[in-house]
Amino acid sequence: MSALTLARPALLALLLAASAAAADTKVACAPDRAAFTLPDGSTRDIAVEVVDTPDSRARGLMFRESLAPEHGMLFIYEAPSEVAFWMRNTLIPLDMLFIDPAGRVAHVAANAVPHDETPVPGAHPGDPAPERLMVLEIGGGEAARLGLGEGAILSHPRLPQDIAALPCE
């Protein structure tokens, strides 16, 4: 068993405690922005293009030749779903942030390889099948550069505000 596997329960407890403390906080939100709060309390703001229909989600960032820093595509599902992505016809490497219904980043797949048709799952290998409400795709390496990892919390008006870890104002 790895140290990471052993540390997960402690990390989860810490994140839940931080989320509970932040529950009284509300964040200014906009449909075209992904407002993230990191576990240390710092914030990151990503300009997003929302895709929320089956056709727009299927196309995603295919055939795009570039993606500006701090810009991305926010995939929104009608209900929490088990999701996996692939990179067919995607020309640039991407980081994928898999987000649960409360807005918590539950998994990050970093630097997905262009044109790779291997499914990129929304969870660590061996974890139970998770349900994700949103997935944010940003340029490869952006998640690490911005400090966006598991435990970061998204505030967005399309999250169910009654269960959002950090609801909108």
* Burial of residue 106, with CB atoms counted within 10 A of its CB: 0-12 exposed, 13-18 middle, 19 or more buried: buried
Is residue 38 within 8 Å of residue 65, measured between CB atoms? no
Could you list the pLDDT tens digit for every one of the 169 residues in the chain? Answer: 444 444 444 444 444 444 444 446 799 999 999 999 999 999 999 999 999 999 999 999 999 999 999 999 999 999 999 999 999 999 999 999 999 999 999 999 999 999 999 999 999 888 877 889 999 999 999 999 999 999 999 999 999 999 999 999 9
Whole-Å CA distances, 72 to 24, 82, 129, 135, 152: 28, 21, 25, 10, 16
Instruction: Answer for the pair 97, 153: CB distance below 8 angstroms, yes or no.
Output: no
- In order of their start, the domains of the chain are 3-155 (2.60.120.1140)
Question: Dihedral of CA 44/101/129/93: which sign?
Answer: negative
Evaluated on CA atoms 113, 115, 119, 121, the torsion sign reads: positive
What SS3 state is found at 141?
coil
- Residues 15 and 22: their CA atoms lie apart, in Å, by 10
Residue 112 contacts residue 138 (beta carbons within 8 Å): no
Element (H, E) at 99: strand 94-99
pLDDT of residue 115: 98
